[in-house]
């Protein structure tokens, strides 16, 4: 009861409360149903969460994790299918992660929660249904480091998120 809060459907308020809680020493995880709704909280995400460390000369950290969903191909309509991760990747001060497997989801989410900077954890809607082995307790994946799934010498294929499910088998065939 003390750790989970129901909020009104007001994305700006949800993220704003999370930013305030993070500034007071908590490590909130706020959830926005789809990344499209993050646009309603853009000021809180971009101008507050991501910039407070810079604006305070490094004295204020904002360890907030904003968890959301993205992706097309599920019949959710155009208003719920934008893929805005590239927008956010261009914002100084925020880390953007997109898991490609269940183990990645656990490891990246855990790393985001324990990071001192704001993180945007974006799950592809289709990847949420993927099953796989559970990682060991305490599993973390370093943020900002590529996960090299296969090495070679002829072609480099770079991908992230749900397309990894297509790219790896294709590389095996080739």
Q: Which residues are catalytic?
A: 11, 80
CA dist., res. 164 & res. 169, Å (int): 9
Give residues with Cβ within 8 angstroms of 108, minimum separation 6.
Answer: 97, 99, 121, 141, 143
Alpha helices in the chain (DSSP H): 11-23, 42, 52-55, 85-89, 102-113, 164-173
Contact present, 125 and 76 (Cβ < 8 Å): yes
Exposed / middle / buried, residue 22 (Cβ in 10 Å: 0-12, 13-18, 19+): buried
For the chain, the farthest-separated pair of C-alpha atoms sits apart, in whole angstroms, at 55
């Amino acid at each position: 009861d003390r750790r989970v809060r129901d909020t009104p459907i007001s994305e700006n308020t949800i993220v704003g409360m999370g930013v305030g809680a993070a500034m007071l020493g908590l490590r909130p995880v706020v959830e926005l149903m789809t990344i499209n709704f993050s646009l309603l909280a853009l000021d809180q995400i971009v101008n507050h969460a991501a910039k407070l460390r810079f604006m305070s000369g490094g004295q204020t950290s904002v360890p907030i994790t904003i968890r959301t969903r993205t992706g097309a191909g599920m019949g959710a309509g155009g208003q719920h299918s934008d893929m805005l991760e590239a927008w956010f990747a261009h914002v100084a001060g925020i880390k953007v992660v997109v898991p490609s497997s269940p183990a990645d989801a656990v490891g990246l989410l855990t790393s985001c929660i324990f990071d001192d900077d704001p993180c945007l954890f974006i799950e592809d809607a289709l990847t949420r249904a993927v099953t796989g082995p559970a990682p060991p307790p305490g599993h973390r994946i370093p943020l900002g480091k590529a996960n090299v799934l296969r090495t070679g010498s002829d072609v480099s294929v770079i991908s992230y998120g749900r397309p990894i499910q297509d790219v790896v088998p294709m590389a095996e065939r080739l």
